Amino acid sequence: MKKRVKVIITLIAITLLLPIKAAAVTLGEYEAAVEKYTKELREKEAKIAKGKEEIAAVKKTIAETEDKIAQAEEEIEKLQAEIEKCDKEIKKKDAESKKIIEYYQIENGNNAYLEYIFGATSITDMVYRMSVAEQLTDYNDKVMKELKALIETNKKKKAELKKKQEELGELKKKLESEKERIEEEVSGVEGTVPSTKGQIELYQKRVNYYRSRGCSSNDIIGVTCDVPPKVTPSSGGGNVTPGAIIGENGFRFPVNGGRISWGYGGGHKGIDITRGCGTPIYAVAPGRVYYVGNGLDNYGAYMVLIVHNVNGQLVFSQYAHVQPGIPVYVGQSVDTNTVVAYMGSTGYSTGCHLHLEMSRNYGWAYNGTYYQYVNNITSPWNFVPSPY
């Protein structure tokens, strides 16, 4: 009783509130998908190219910065050498002056200066000789002062260069991390390129296929073009899955084995087949996949809809509660050997089973924006052979 109430609520929900919004596709939608992914690929390629340009530019700036750092280093070394040279010169001059002063102060009784002074041949010569010594020390003092000033200037220059060099080092670090960031970004985008290319290939293949089947952009695949072939007594033939039960009309029971856990009627709009989770589910007849997904998520959750051609009338089979990994795509041509889903327990379900529902003559109708459920449900037993 409880189950029945649920079903009734569910049916109301389906009819009034939950039209499928994405059932069936036009060839144009697949063409649009090709365009969309192609555009995406171009954008990705442009991003990669731009990123690579940026990397090259940053690398160039890094190299320039390294040159500047090396130049600064060279100048610092030059200044250091200059400072040392001046230092030596000062010491030399200082020693020289000291010697001259020593001579001048006559501290040593036996020194060359005195000998030099007293060696004068006349007073004039002596005065001259004394003035020479004085001038010499004065000159040394002057030179030393200049040298000291030069050292100060060079030290200042050196400090400035060191600071500049440090700043360049910081800049280099920043540039390197920026380069790494862009490289990561580029390789991230590059990583997604194969999947985009795969999507283009996939949809292009479908577009090519349906074009070869005579579909044009506005055609609804399986309905207004590539209409499934009529189900005939022989359509269940060929490479038949072992264990398949095939009726005289060409329809088959959708699983191999299994039992009917809930029959059709009395509020239950389909038949429930139980055979364990993951059991392969086959199309009940040749047709075109019309819908795949979980558009009726309050009810059947993941489901597949297939459209069949029964003497020119479109008949729909619906496989509900299946597992999410559905192995077919919308528009795909299927037959009674095609696994279209795996038995699951998604949606309103308390255990793994298949809810098989069938409807005649546009059970799903286009309302201008989307495909809406229209209650034209019929007993699956009108088509599908009983396993018993």
State the residues that interact with Zn ion by CB under 5 A: 270, 272, 355
Take residue 387 and report the two structure tokens written for it: 């396993």
Whole-number Å distance between alpha carbons of 296 and 306: 15
Q: Which is nearer to Zn ion, 266 or 312 (CB)?
A: 266
Nearest to 159 by CA among 81, 79, 87: 79
Take residue 97 and report the two structure tokens written for it: 């002056």
Say if CB 24 and CB 292 are below 8 A apart: no
Q: Least distance (Å) from Zn ion to the CB of residue 185?
A: 51
Q: Which is nearer to Zn ion, 204 or 346 (CB)?
A: 346
- Using CB atoms, what's the residue nearest to Zn ion? 355
Q: Least distance (Å) from Zn ion to the CB of residue 218?
A: 36
Nearest to 68 by CA among 179, 172, 159, 153: 172
What's at 156, amino acid-wise? K
Q: Least distance (Å) from Zn ion to the CB of residue 270?
A: 5
Whole-number Å distance between alpha carbons of 70 and 271: 83
Whole-number Å distance between alpha carbons of 322 and 342: 6
Residues 6+ apart with CB under 8 A from 55: 179, 182, 183, 186
Q: Which is nearer to Zn ion, 199 or 274 (CB)?
A: 274
Q: Least distance (Å) from Zn ion to the CB of residue 221?
A: 28
Q: Least distance (Å) from Zn ion to the CB of residue 355?
A: 3
Q: Which is nearer to Zn ion, 11 or 120 (CB)?
A: 11
Q: Which is nearer to Zn ion, 226 or 272 (CB)?
A: 272
Lookup result for tokens 């990669």? 48
Q: Which is nearer to Zn ion, 252 or 321 (CB)?
A: 321
Q: Least distance (Å) from Zn ion to the CB of residue 386?
A: 16
